[in-house]
Amino acid sequence: MLFCQNAGVVAVISLIAELSNKISIEHLRLLYYSAIMMNTEPNKNYSPEIYRYISKTPLVTLPEINNELNTQLFFKSEHLQETGSFKFRGAMNFALNITGEEKSAGICISSSGNFAIAIVTACNLLNIKINEMILPVGVKPSKLSFIKKFCDAKIIYYTPEETRQSKIEEIKNSSSSFYIAPSDDERFCLGYQTLVEEIQEAEGDVDYILFPVGTGGLISASALQSRRTAPVTRIIGCEPANIDDAYRSFRAGELCIDNRGVSIADGLVENISQNTFSVINRNVDDIIIVTEEEIIGAVDYLKHKCNLNVEPSSAVPMAALLKYRSRFEGRKVVIVLTGGNHEKVTPSELLGQSD
């Protein structure tokens, strides 16, 4: 379902749809993203009630780290957000804007863990029914335990040999639930844009913001917001080399999602979509890849030098900054620490997981 609150964009897409009965929903979505990019006015169409639920997370700077790295570095601490990750921003805005039809039928979601925790919490707060949840085999025990405790949805697993999309299609064909894809749903994207607004309110224009990249929802939403309100800020995506679909797509200028690798950064294992790639390709300045060893080193650096205990997915941008330190020297840089929902393991145990 395409959900859009921008009346001008709706009018344009509706006219196009009327002129051609052959246009697909995928093309409609891409037209929406293209149209929204032409809107240069700041976009604040998230629910005004959202800050009753989400937190304005701190922007932390550490003078000793700044001196060591010769960088004015800030950490946007989304690991301190409600539910432990940035995804609660999008989930809460979705829940506040759910349609009557969706609420009546119930919804289906898919997740590697953090999104499931966020949407379960948001839906519980507003009495929204989740009928099915699609999870990868091997989802972290702490995340699975939370989901089972607070949600009675039917859980459907997929293996590394299967694709998440195949399970999604099964549900679409057999259930009356509305499938919700956060990276392709404006309600989630508008919720994510609050993060960049908070950075700008606290520090004004910065030189770089570094994001980890999974499905691309956060970085694409943030890039759109930044282009409207702080075009001098360079948006950098950071990705595990083992799962480098965004990196390869960005350099090829077309979607490349044939890599189904494994990474300790389990929150980034899902590929970008055509919609998020369309935005990334036009609005992100670069994508950097890092190795598993570099991610583990960054987790250790954040924990022992910065006293920041985050999950490996969140440490990927720090790994990128440490790898290309000279690129960021003398600059004002924000690293988005997207989440802190992780198992308590040592660096040596992480190395074992990455084999």
Domains 50-85+185-353 and 88-183 share a fold: yes
Token pair listed for 120: 């379960």
Mean pLDDT, residues 41-62: 86
Give the pLDDT confidence of 125-155 residue by residue, as tens digits. 999 999 999 988 888 788 888 889 999 999 9
C-alpha dihedral sign at 350, 351, 354, 355: negative
Q: Are 268 and 115 in contact (CB under 8 A)?
A: no
Alpha helices in the chain (DSSP H): 7-19, 25-38, 63-69, 87-96, 100-105, 114-125, 141-150, 164-174, 186-203, 217-229, 245-252, 274-283, 292-305, 312-323, 325-328, 347-353
Kindly give the pairing relationship between strand 59-60 and strand 72-77.
antiparallel
> What is the distance between the alpha carbons of residues 19 and 29, in angstroms, rounded to a whole number?
16
Amino acid at 315: A
Residue 218 pLDDT exceeds 90: yes
φ, ψ of residue 291 to 5 degrees: the values are: -80, 170
Give the pLDDT confidence of 168-188 residue by residue, as tens digits. 888 888 889 999 988 888 999
Look at residue 172 in the predicted model and tell me its pLDDT.
Answer: 85
> What is the distance between the alpha carbons of residues 261 and 295, in angstroms, rounded to a whole number?
15
Query: Nearest-CA neighbor of 312 among 251, 253, 266, 256?
Result: 266
Query: Nearest-CA neighbor of 323 among 354, 303, 296?
Result: 296
CATH 3.30.1490.100 fits 50-85+185-353, yes or no: no
> What is the distance between the alpha carbons of residues 325 and 237, in angstroms, rounded to a whole number?
15
Residue 20 pLDDT exceeds 80: no
Amino acid at 299: V
> What is the distance between the alpha carbons of residues 141 and 308, in angstroms, rounded to a whole number?
22
The DSSP-derived string for 9-38 is HHHHHHHHHHH-TT--HHHHHHHHHHHHHH
Task: For the chain, give every domain's residue range.
Answer: 7-38, 50-85+185-353, 88-183
Residue 16 pLDDT exceeds 80: no
Residue 26 pLDDT exceeds 70: no
DSSP letter (8 states) at residue 85: B
What's the predicted TM-score (pTM) here? 0.82
Look at residue 72 in the predicted model and tell me its pLDDT.
Answer: 98
Look at residue 77 in the predicted model and tell me its pLDDT.
Answer: 97
CATH architecture of structural domain 88-183: 3-Layer(aba) Sandwich (3.40)
Chain centroid to Cα 110, Å, comes to 13
Confidence of residue 121 (pLDDT cuts 50, 70, 90): very high
Alpha helices in 70-134 (DSSP H): 87-96, 100-105, 114-125
> What is the distance between the alpha carbons of residues 295 and 90, in angstroms, rounded to a whole number?
26
Q: Are 41 and 228 in contact (CB under 8 A)?
A: yes
Token pair listed for 23: 């246009």
Token pair listed for 55: 């937190």
Amino acid at 229: T
Comparing 35 with 284, which gets the higher pLDDT?
284
Q: Are 310 and 79 in contact (CB under 8 A)?
A: yes
Residue 17 pLDDT exceeds 70: no
Give the pLDDT confidence of 99-115 residue by residue, as tens digits. 999 999 999 998 867 88
> What is the distance between the alpha carbons of residues 92 and 88, in angstroms, rounded to a whole number?
6
Token pair listed for 190: 């508008």
Q: Are 264 and 314 in contact (CB under 8 A)?
A: no
Look at residue 113 in the predicted model and tell me its pLDDT.
Answer: 76
Residue 269 makes CB contacts below 8 A (sequence gap 6+) with 112, 136, 214, 243, 262, 263
Comparing 247 with 26, which gets the higher pLDDT?
247
C-alpha dihedral sign at 90, 92, 93, 98: positive
